[in-house]
Amino acid sequence: MRHECAREFGDVMDEKTANRRDLLDKLKLDRSQPEPAGGGAVKGGVVGLVLGVLVAGGAAYVMWPEAAPDVAAIPAPANPGSTSPAPAAAAAAPAADSDGTVLSASGYVTARRLATVSSEITGKMQEVLVEEGSVVAAGQVLARLDPTLAEIDRDVAAAERDGAAAEKQNADSVLKRLQGVPRGSVVSEADLTSARAAAASATARLNSAIARLARAEALLAKYEIRAPFAGVVTSKDAQPGEIVSPSAAGGGSTRTGICTIVDMTSLEIEVEVSESFIGRVKPGQKVRATLDAYPDLEIPANVIAIIPTANRAQATVKVRIGITTADPRILPEMAAKVRFMDTGESQ
């Protein structure tokens, strides 16, 4: 079959060559005829120019290469005795690199433990004792509100407590004295019962005054804003003289936060892994991370957890990566690149 196709192709080329030769023969000038008299030079020049253009065009047509049919591209006839080749199989997932990397991803450093510290009550800021970058301990005083009214309430409650204590002491003394008088004397049973009731009432009033004092002292303690845990202050949001309030009550120009504290020991890396490759990630798997800010700093880490839900819009799954060795250069919200190592290395 291929020989027949080649023979037909040769015949077609011979026929085209013969046609081009006939065209060139027709363009040749016949010099045997005499030139007409008068104006022969001008007319001859014009005719020569026209014929030259025609000759050049014909030569270009003859010499211009034509796209020959690709004999190799002609499909070979199906051989009944042979089987057609099987289609190519889909490419398999790439194997681990020479350094053991099975997957790479990008993400950011995040803190699992951070808090925007706010006041539990509304008040005027008296002083702020921290700045950005301050290292604070758990329970350390960060700021104070103006406690004038709270101190007055505490003093009133303390005075009431002292008065109730004196009243109870007097009632107890009367009751004790009446109980020491022999029966049948000038003290009647009614007087003894009344003294007992007065002592009990004085005791109740004292207990109530003690509770009010405790409440006033607890409220006064809220005028001191303390750190909920040890960490580093990353932002200072309030200044002395401003009115601060709990988040739920904040509005307008009222501050709802005083500062933000980050526990630097809780830093980790969060990355988004494509659904197609999430099967390569396992809990506990070793990870090598680098920061865009410090590309030469290799951070040993491991997979903490694979969040059991996917992002439908991005077709990704979030993976939490714990940092094995802390480093002061690692800061929250830094961009990071991670390489998941072969599971054989994570054992």
Scan for tokens 């016949």, then name that residue. Answer: 30
Tens-place pLDDT, residues 38-73: 445 445 555 566 566 565 665 555 455 544 444 333
Residues 173 and 276 in one domain: no
Q: Does a structural domain hold residue 92? A: no
Query: Which of 39-48, 177-186, 195-204, 216-225 is predicted with the least confidence, judged by mean pLDDT?
Result: 39-48
Comparing C-alpha atoms, which of 173, 171, 121, 183 is closest to residue 147?
Answer: 121
Q: d(Cα 115, Cα 136) in Å, to the nearest integer?
A: 13
Instruction: Indicate the pairing of strand 335-341 with strand 114-117.
Output: unpaired
DSSP codes joined into one string, 191-213: HHHHHHHHHHHHHHHHHHHHHHH
Cβ 287 vs Cβ 338: under 8 Å: yes
Q: Is the pLDDT of residue 180 over 80?
A: no
Q: Is the pLDDT of residue 188 over 80?
A: no
Residues 182 and 313 in one domain: no
Residues 198 and 293 in one domain: no
Domain that holds residue 176: 147-222
Residues 176 and 192 in one domain: yes
Residue 203 binned pLDDT confidence (cut-offs 50, 70, 90)? very high
Q: Is the pLDDT of residue 330 over 90?
A: yes
Q: Cα–Cα–Cα angle for 188, 192, 193, nearest 5°?
A: 115
The pLDDT of residue 81: 44
Residues 134 and 257 in one domain: yes
Q: Does a structural domain hold residue 78? A: no
Residues 118 and 249 in one domain: yes
Q: Does a structural domain hold residue 86? A: no
Residue 13 binned pLDDT confidence (cut-offs 50, 70, 90)? low
Q: Does a structural domain hold residue 83? A: no
Average pLDDT over residues 310-324: 94
Q: Do you know the residue count of the chain?
A: 347
Residues 151 and 205 in one domain: yes
Comparing C-alpha atoms, which of 265, 328, 268 is closest to residue 303?
Answer: 268
Residues 280 and 321 in one domain: yes
Q: Does a structural domain hold residue 288? A: yes
The pLDDT of residue 59: 53
Q: d(Cα 264, Cα 325) in Å, to the nearest integer?
A: 12
Q: How many domains does the chain have?
A: 4
Query: Which of 20-29, 56-65, 305-314 is predicted with the least confidence, judged by mean pLDDT?
Result: 56-65
The pLDDT of residue 225: 95
Counting residues of the chain whose pLDDT is more than 90, the rounded percentage is 54
Residues 247 and 258 in one domain: yes
Comparing C-alpha atoms, which of 23, 9, 24, 107 is closest to residue 67?
Answer: 9
Query: What are the CA-CA distances from residue 285 to residues 102, 182, 223, 256 (Å)?
Result: 11, 87, 47, 41
Average pLDDT of the chain is: 79
Residues 61 and 106 in one domain: no
Residues 210 and 255 in one domain: no
Query: Among 22, 57, 73, where does a domain finish?
Result: 73
Residues 163 and 196 in one domain: yes
The pLDDT of residue 335: 96
Q: d(Cα 211, Cα 207) in Å, to the nearest integer?
A: 6
Question: Which H/E stretch holds residue 31?
Answer: none
Q: Does a structural domain hold residue 11? A: yes
Average pLDDT over residues 289-300: 93
CATH number for position 207: 1.10.287
CATH number for position 331: 2.40.30.170
Cβ 148 vs Cβ 290: under 8 Å: no
Tens-place pLDDT, residues 232-280: 999 999 999 999 988 655 455 677 889 999 999 999 999 999 999 999 9
Residue 165 binned pLDDT confidence (cut-offs 50, 70, 90)? very high
DSSP codes joined into one string, 258-292: SEEEE-GGGEEEEEEEEGGGGGG--TT-EEEEEES
The pLDDT of residue 178: 78
| Amino acid in the structure at residue 217 | E
Residue 10 binned pLDDT confidence (cut-offs 50, 70, 90)? low
Q: d(Cα 165, Cα 203) in Å, to the nearest integer?
A: 8
For residue 253, give the 3-state DSSP assignment: coil
Could you tell me which residues come within 8 angstroms of residue 44 by beta carbon, excluding any fewer than 6 positions away?
Answer: 35
Query: Among 262, 280, 312, where does a domain finish?
Result: 262
Q: Does a structural domain hold residue 87? A: no
Residue 281 binned pLDDT confidence (cut-offs 50, 70, 90)? very high
Q: Does a structural domain hold residue 82? A: no
Q: Is the pLDDT of residue 87 over 50?
A: no
Tens-place pLDDT, residues 121-146: 999 999 999 999 999 999 999 999 99
* pTM confidence score: 0.60
CATH number for position 131: 2.40.50.100
Q: Is the pLDDT of residue 82 over 50?
A: no
Show the tokens assigned to 228: 């909920």
